[in-house]
Structure 1
C-alpha cells in the first residue's frame, strides 16, 4: 500500500507504540537503537530492514509533531566513550494518532498524522 499524504503507515505506528510502551516502563526518552530493539522484540510486528528506514520515519514523525527530540548531554556520551545520541519522546498527539490508527486498522483505513501534513 502506498502512503497517501498525511497518513500514518504501519512502521510509524509501530514506532509510536514502542515509544509509548517505553514511556509506560519509565523511559520517557529513548534513542533510535533502543527503539529498534523494542520493535524487534515485540510480537506481531515486522522487522526493520535497515536502521536508515527507522531514522527517516523518526524524522517524519517529529516533523508531524508526534515525537520531540533533543541531543543528550555530551558529557554523558563522553563518559561512556561513544557519540552523542538523539533522544526522542512521544507527544500527546502521538497517543491520539496511535489510538486512531488502532481503531481504523481493522477496516484498513489509514490514519492521518495531522490535518494538512504532507510527508513529501
Structure 2
C-alpha cells in the first residue's frame, strides 16, 4: 500500500495502532510484534498480515513517535525481545482511528 504523503498513516499502520490500544485496554501495557500478530488474527477476519509488513509498520510508528520500544532480556535465558508501548500521541491517534472505524 503506497503512502499518500509523509504524514498520513496507511491502513496497516492504523490497524496495528488499534490492536495496540485493544491490548492496553486488556491490561497489556507493553507488547511484542508476535503478540500484535496474534491480536490481529483474533480480532480481524481478513488474511493475516505478513511479519515483514508488521515489523515495518512498527518501525514507522516508532519513527513517528506513536510507539516507543526497548529491548528486554528474559530471565530464563531466552532471546532478547523488543517490546513496544503506545505513547500518549499514539494512544490518541489509535482512539481516533478506532472511533472512525466504528462509524
* Structure with the bigger percentage of helix: 2
CA distance in 2: counterparts of 1:22 and 1:104, whole angstroms: 19
1:7-51 residue CA offsets vs partner (Å, 9 max, x unmatched): 111111111111111111111000000110001111355520x21
Distance 1:27 1:105, change over 3 A: closer
Task: Give the length in aligned residue pairs.
Answer: 101
Point out which structure has higher relative CO (alpha carbons under 8 A, 6+ apart): 1
TM-score, normalization by structure 2: 0.84
Note the residue ranges of structure 2 that are not aligned, 5 or more in a row: none
CA distance in 1: counterparts of 2:13 and 2:34, whole angstroms: 15
Note the residue ranges of structure 1 that are not aligned, 5 or more in a row: 107-120
1:65-108 residue CA offsets vs partner (Å, 9 max, x unmatched): 00000111x2x25x0x43111000111111222344356669xx
TM-score, normalization by structure 1: 0.73
Instruction: Please report how far the alpha carbon of residue 62 of structure 1 lies from its aligned counterpart in structure 2 after TM superposition.
Output: 0.2
Q: Is this contact kept in 1: 2:20–2:36, CA < 8 A?
A: yes
